[in-house]
Amino acid sequence: DAEKVDLWLMREMFGELKDGDAAEAIPVPRGCQRGTQGGEFYKTDGGGDWARACSACEQAIQMHRHDGPPERDAIVLKLELAKIRVLLEANQLSSVLNQIDGLLFSPHHAANANVTVDGGKDGLHLSNTYGKFLPYAVEAAWRLGQWTRLEYICNQKIQNTYKTYDLDGQYRVCVGRAMLSLTKLAQDTSSFASIRANIEEARGAIMTSLSKTSHESYVRSYPFLLRLHVLREIEVAAASLHLANNAPPCRPLDLRLLAASAAPAGWNWLCRLDLTAPDVPSVGLVVHTRLALARIAGDASTEGDLLLTLGRVARKRGDLRAAEASLVRARSVFAGCSGGPQAGEVQVQLAKLTYAQGDTGAALRMIEPEERLFL
């Protein structure tokens, strides 16, 4: 039994370090088949194969449901959290919210989660480990633009308990609260102070994590550096919107002009994306934030450009499902704002996607109306 515990701890350690190959290489104890799914999850999660990672996680959850408490609850909780994170990385945001609702309000979890209700469902407070799911619900809500739901989660479910979360959870909640305040900035200028306060809290959480990982490897610290970029862009967007709302004549913020600005306070979006690692999680971390900012500012053209970028990166990486979802959304956005040449570029990317799926004839037919792009 002690040997099994040691092997499981080693697997978990390598998994947390994103070393899926090492986790999978650790031998599975005789008569214990659960390690196969654990190693498969760590390997596919670290490699960005979200579909296989989610499948491996589901299999591991089903196997551990036969364990007795408290071992079952502790392991299943970690696996459920891992599955939620995988769904979030795969951009299946509605699934994230539905899964979390199902977990928090299922009879099994409600009986074992010490959930207290004060004044009905709207007064729900979670005083247990299942509150760890809520930061993921916060991120899914703002990325979907579901501001009413985000406000309910932040003000009714979480309130001030987010300070008891781990650093990653604190960061996600603070970013969500900053985004929520950003949507109210046009009607309530006092929201600007709330945005700055939440950004400072999020930055503090990142710097604590960065100080722990920077001396180990650049690979481990890189995601935290990207998060600092994200916070800076939210900060600049908030300041620009605040000025636009208070300096007559009041004009909507043009994110395209701000992105192209050569001023020191400019965002320099293209440069940041060029320097970002060319993989979907890294680019997505920046692009998803910009998508939310573009929607808040009502800049449909920039929103379409960002979706096009996300679809192009996903296609080149081989994540065809994510690429198709982003490109279809980009086409819909450009159709509503007279996208011009960019709408044609979306069609070309969809044709390349169709070709990658093995339908050469359909791909050729798709690009025939766009031949002018190659002249």
Task: Indicate the average pLDDT of the chain.
Answer: 75
| Dihedral pair phi/psi, residue 124, rounded to 5° | -65, 130
Joined together, the tokens standing for residue 126 give 């979670």
Please, which pLDDT band fits residue 166 given cuts at 50, 70 and 90? confident
- Is a pLDDT exceeding 80 seen at residue 16? no
pTM of the model: 0.77
- Is a pLDDT exceeding 50 seen at residue 77? yes
**pLDDT (mean) for 31-46:** 47
For 321-352, b/e burial (b = at least 16 CB within 10 A) is ebbbbbbebbbebbeeeebeebbbbbbbbbbb
The span from the CA of 17 to the CA of 215, in Å, is: 14
- Is a pLDDT exceeding 90 seen at residue 36? no
Residue-wise pLDDT tens digits, 248-264: 544 555 666 655 555 55
Scan for tokens 């002249």, then name that residue. 375
Residue-wise pLDDT tens digits, 89-137: 888 899 999 988 887 765 555 444 444 333 334 333 444 556 788 899 9
DSSP string for residues in 172-193: HHHHHHHHHHHHTTTT-TTHHH
Number of H helices, E strands in the chain: 19, 2
Question: Is 345:351 a contact under the CB 8 Å cutoff?
Answer: no
The span from the CA of 232 to the CA of 206, in Å, is: 13
pLDDT at residue 206, as a whole number: 94
115: left (phi over 0), alpha (psi -120 to 50) or beta: beta
CA angle 273-275-281, nearest 5°? 60
pLDDT at residue 15, as a whole number: 61
